[in-house]
Amino acid sequence: MQPDMVSKVKNHPKYIELLAKRTIFSWILTLIMCSIYYGFILLVAFNKEFLKTPIADGSVITIGIPLGVVVILSAFLLTGIYTWRANGTFDDLTREIKKDVQ
Amino acid sequence: MRNLTLFGILTTLLLSASVVISAGVDLGQVQKQELNTSAIIMFLLFVSGTLGITYWAAQRTKTAKDFYTAGGGITGFQNGLAIAGDYMSAASFLGISGLVYGSGYDGLIFSIGWLVGWPVILFMVAEQLRNLGKYTFADVASYRLGQTPIRSMAACGSLVTVLLYLIAQMVGAGQLIQLLFGLEYWMAVVLVGVLMILYVTFGGMLATTWVQIIKAILLLTGASFMALMVLKEVGFSFETLFTKAIAIHKKHEAIMSPGALITDPLSAISLGLGLMFGTAGLPHILMRFFTVSDAKEARKSVFYATGFIGYFYILTFIIGFGAILLVSTNPAYFDAVKGALKGGGNMPAIHLAHAVGGDIFLGFISAVAFATILAVVSGLTLAGASAVSHDLYANVFRRGRVDEAQEMRVSKMATITLGVLAIILGIQFEKQNVAFMVYLAFTIAASANFPVLLLSIYWSKLTTRGAFIGGFVGLITALGLVIIGPTVWEDTLGFAKGSAPFQYKYPAIFSMAAGFISIWFFSITDSSARAKEDIAGFEAQDIRCQTGIGADGAVDH
Segment B428-443 mean pLDDT: 85
Position with higher pLDDT, B352 vs B262: B352
A76-85, B213-222, B252-261: range with lowest mean pLDDT: B252-261
Q: How many domains does one find in chain B? A: 1
**Residues of chain B contacting A78 with CB distance shorter than 8 Å:** 119
Test the A interface: residue of B122, B238, B315, B541 with most A CBs within 10 Å: B122
* CA distance linking residue B274 with residue B507, whole number of Å: 8
**Which of the two residues, A10 and B383, has the higher pLDDT score?**
B383
DSSP secondary structure letters along B120-179: HIIIIIIHHHHHH-SSSHHHHHTSSS-HHHHHHHHHHHHHHHHHHHHHHHHHHHHHHHHH
CA distance linking residue B221 with residue B228, whole number of Å: 10
User: Domain limits at A20?
Assistant: 3-101
In a domain, B3, yes or no: no
| DSSP notation for B210-269 | HHHHHHHHHHHHHHHHHHHHHHHHTTT-HHHHHHHHHHHSTTGGGGGS--SS--SHHHHH
DSSP one-letter code for B327: T
Number of Cβ atoms within 10 Å of the Cβ of B77: 15
Q: Pick from B258, B539, B548: which is nearest to A10 by CB?
A: B539
Query: Is the CB of residue B225 less than 8 Å from the CB of residue B95?
Result: no
pLDDT at B517 over 90: yes
pLDDT tens across B269-284, in order?
A: 998 999 999 999 999 9
Q: Which residues of A touch B247 (CB under 8 A)?
A: none
B127 belongs to a structural domain: yes
CA distance B31 to B176: 10
Contact between B303 and B75 (Cβ < 8 Å)? no
Task: Tell me, yes or no, if B116 comes closer than 8 A to chain A by beta carbon.
Answer: yes
Lowest mean pLDDT among B267-276, B412-421, B454-463: B267-276
CA of residue B299 relative to chain centroid, distance: 20
CATH number for the domain harbouring residue B87: 1.20.1730.10
* B292 DSSP assignment: B
- Residue pLDDT, tens place only, B324-374: 999 999 999 998 888 888 888 888 999 999 999 998 899 899 888 888 899
Nearest residue, CB atoms, A37 vs list B257, B258, B276: B276
CB contact, 8 Å: B536 with chain A?
Answer: no
d(Cα B466, Cα B309) in Å, to the nearest integer?
35
Assess if residue B340 is contained within a domain: yes
Domains in chain A, number: 1
Query: How much of chain A is in helix, strand and coil states, percent to nearest 5?
Result: 85, 0, 15
pLDDT of B145 = 95
pLDDT value at position B172?
A: 85
**B288 vs B182, more confident:** B288
Reported confidence tier of residue B27, pLDDT bands at 50, 70, 90: very low
In a domain, B201, yes or no: yes
DSSP annotation of B71 reads G
Cα A5 from Cα B407, distance rounded (Å): 32
Residue B150 has pLDDT above 90, yes or no: yes
pLDDT tens for B183-204 read 889 998 999 999 999 999 999 9
**B164-170 average pLDDT score:** 91
Q: Note the pLDDT of residue B68.
A: 93
In this structure, of B213-217, B309-313, B434-438, B510-514, the range with the lowest mean pLDDT score is B434-438
Could you please report the per-residue DSSP string of A40-61? HHHHHHH-HHHHHSBSSTT---
Q: What ipTM was assigned to the predicted interfaces of this complex?
A: 0.95
Is residue B60 in some structural domain? Answer: yes
Between the alpha carbon of residue A64 and those of residues A51, B43, B315, B341, the distances in Å are 4, 39, 17, 28
Nearest CA in chain B to A11: B543
pLDDT at A13 exceeding the cut of 70 = yes
Residue A1 has pLDDT above 70, yes or no: no
* CB contact (8 A) between residue A52 and residue B238: no
Q: Percent of chain B having pLDDT more than 90? A: 68
The answer to whether residue B171 sits within a structural domain is yes
**Residue B459 near chain A (CB below 8 Å):** no
pLDDT of residue B7: 40
Residue B4 lies in a domain: no
Tens of pLDDT, residues B365-411: 988 888 889 999 999 999 999 999 999 999 999 998 888 889 999 99
A32 band by pLDDT with thresholds 50, 70 and 90: very high
Contact status, residue B349 vs residue B37, Cβ threshold 8 Å: no
Look at A79 and B265 and tell me if their CB atoms are within 8 Å.
Answer: no
CB-CB contact of B170 with B325 (8 Å): no
Q: Is the pLDDT reported for residue B148 higher than 90?
A: yes
Residue span of the structural domain in which B479 resides? 12-556
Mutation target for A interface from B106, B108, B112: give the one with most A CBs within 10 A: B112
Distance CA B439, CA B449 (A): 15
Strand partners, B334: B341
Determine the pLDDT at residue B11: 43
